Amino acid sequence: MNHKLAAPTPPLGWNSWDCYGAAVTEDEIRGNAEYMAEHLKDYGWSYITVDIQWYEPQANSSQYRPFVPLVMDEYSRLMPAENRFPSAAGGQGFKPLADYVHSLGLQFGIHIMRGIPRQAAHAAAPILGTTATAREIAHTNSICPWNTDMYGVDASKEGAQAYYDSLFELYARWGVDLVKVDDIAASRLYDTHQPEIVLISKAIERCGRPMVLSLSPGPAPVEYAELFTGHANMWRVTDDFWDQWPLLLDMFSRCRKWQGVPQSGSWPDCDMLPLGHIGIRSVDGGGADRWTRFTRDEQLTMMSLWSIFRSPLIFGGELRDNDDWTLSLLTNREVLRMHRESRGAKEALCTDELIVWTADHTDGTRYAALFNVGENPLALELDLEEIGLSGTAAGTELWSGTPAELNVGSLQTTIPPHGVRLYSFL
């Protein structure tokens, strides 16, 4: 099975982390899925992902409780906590919830941590398909610096592949369509965990069900681009991204590093979109229960950069609380068409205040995103030849739907501070 077929275009979806941290419940997953099916599915949005620690019965925020008992089956595999996910009762795991998400015409994703539960290693618990125990394959010096749930898996040990195979066989039975693996793409303590990426990639190939493989956290090292494109569908180019202008400004340099890499099946990931109502039970990112701190212009900048660069678009807010403005950011068909179908995105111009990205479409449409990263309004008369778009006859600003002001090969506009003008040209 060619792993690239799982994500021929950048995935669009929702993830529970930005609003619920580690503490999301089944009702909240179902409610967000229902909203997506009603309001977003028609625009290409499809993934509903349960983020971290669904196996921790008492998880209550984005702050992890260290060294607590986790729900686990007899083969060292973590299982959903039934008090938070009642449909998992009787060993059914996430199958009933995945079935419900599928019944809405959507796809179901889960988050896992790299490795094997520490409690399984300490108990020398068995692993399906091998005589090796969890203790024998655990790499006890390979730990996550910010979460105590797991030890790494020593890929050189007999039983290491069998453990990951058993995980993904289980996820295939549940009906999982996307797996976000954390503490693997980059590490504060170690390099990228390359051997475990290979084990996981092979386990997905063997499980018989196409699954999108998403790797976190970032920043994934660009020198490993070949490893990531060869084994995963998306990988984070940043640490957790939140609603703060300095983080958004920094994303331009991260996209510059990775330009030319996005291709069918392989998507550098700028992280979730912290839009709408976030922080409900997630206290990361320097804020509690709130609406995004990004201004409307900053929200347009983020959506435009993610879309022209072709990052996956994973919404982080509580969908059911969306206002008309937030919904409009997710349902602009022309912007989504650019995100889905454009090619060759690159930074065409970079000055102190102005950054321009361009991309092409096979039908001859050309795109340009003009970003004002300065603190004052920017009045522009831009020679289109300067950004490689000479010969342009007409254009449209995609967010407003207004015609581009073109005059003898130059584009005239004023861009608000931290704002953008996103054009399609013919």
* CATH code of the domain covering residue 141: 3.20.20.70
Distance CA 45, CA 15 (A): 12
Q: What is the CATH number of the domain that holds 362?
A: 2.60.40.1180
Residue 372 · residue 400 · CB < 8 Å: no
State the pLDDT at residue 141.
95
Would you state the pLDDT for residue 2? 79
Nearest alpha-carbon partner for 185 in 147, 154, 229, 149: 229
Residue 268, pLDDT score: 98
Q: What is the DSSP string of 220-277?
A: PPGGGHHHHHHH-SEEESSS---S-HHHHHHHHHHHHHHTT--BTTBEEE---B--SE
| Mean predicted confidence (pLDDT) in 254-277 | 97
CA torsion, ordered 247, 250, 256, 261, to nearest 10 deg: -30
Do 247 and 381 belong to one domain?
no
- Are 308 and 352 in the same domain? no
Domain boundary among 324, 341, 358: 341
Q: Is the pLDDT of residue 1 over 70?
A: no
Summarize the confidence of residues 311-317 as an average pLDDT.
98
Percent of all residues in the chain with a pLDDT value above 70, rounded to a whole number: 100
Strands (E), 272-376: 277-278, 290-291, 313-315, 343-350, 354-360, 366-372
Shared-domain flag, residues 358 and 326: no
For residue 154, give the amino acid letter. Answer: D
> What pLDDT was estimated at residue 393?
83
Domain boundary, last residue among 312, 341, 370: 341
Q: Are residues 68 and 212 in the same domain?
A: yes
Q: State the chain's maximal CA–CA distance in angstroms.
A: 75
8 Å CB contact between 76 and 36: no
Mean pLDDT rounded to a whole number for the chain: 97
Q: Quick one: 375 and 408 in the same domain?
A: yes
Inter-CA distances, 95 with 26, 260, 294, 377, 384, Å? 12, 38, 37, 52, 53
Tell me what pLDDT residue 188 has: 84
pLDDT computed for residue 247 by the predictor: 98
309 and 361 together in one domain: no
Residue 287 reports pLDDT greater than 80? no
Cβ atoms of 412 and 381 closer than 8 Å: yes
Same-domain check for residues 199 and 272: yes
Residue 189: the pLDDT is 86
Q: What is the pLDDT of residue 149?
A: 98
Average pLDDT over residues 415-423: 98
pLDDT at residue 88 greater than cutoff 70:
yes
d(CA 306, CA 143): 32
Question: Are the C-beta atoms of 357 and 345 separated by less than 8 Å?
Answer: yes
- Let me know whether 329 and 351 are in one domain: no
Residue where a domain terminates, one of 278, 308, 341: 341
Burial class (CB in 10 A: 0-12, 13-18, 19+), 208: exposed
pTM for the complete prediction?
Answer: 0.97
> Among residues of the chain, what percentage have pLDDT more than 90?
95
Can you read off the two tokens belonging to residue 167? 């995980």
Q: Which two tokens stand for residue 39?
A: 């309001």
Burial class (CB in 10 A: 0-12, 13-18, 19+), 285: buried
| Full residue range of the structural domain in which residue 9 is found | 3-341
Q: Mean per-residue pLDDT for 21-40? A: 98
Residues 6+ apart with CB under 8 A from 83: 57
Which pLDDT value is given to residue 157?
A: 98
Classify 100 as helix, strand or coil. Answer: helix
215 lies in the same domain as 229: yes
Same domain, yes or no: 224 and 360: no
Spatial separation of the C-alpha atoms in residues 222 and 228, rounded to whole Å: 9
Q: Is the pLDDT reported for residue 62 higher than 70?
A: yes
Q: Do 261 and 372 fall within a single domain?
A: no
Inter-residue contact 196 to 155 (CB < 8 Å):
yes
What is the SS3 assignment for 384? helix
List pLDDT tens digits, range 102-157: 999 999 999 999 999 999 999 999 999 999 999 999 999 999 999 999 999 999 99
Q: Is the domain of 72 the same as that of 45? A: yes
Residues 242-263: tens digit of each pLDDT: 999 999 999 999 999 999 999 9
pLDDT in tens, 368-396: 999 999 999 999 999 999 999 988 889 99
Place of tokens 């435009």: 304
pLDDT (tens digit, 9 = 90+) per residue, 390-414? 888 899 999 999 999 999 899 999 9
Q: What is the pLDDT of residues 153-180, one digit of tens each?
A: 999 999 999 999 999 999 999 999 999 9
* Domain count along the chain: 2
pLDDT at position 285 = 72
Residue 317 scores a pLDDT above 90: yes
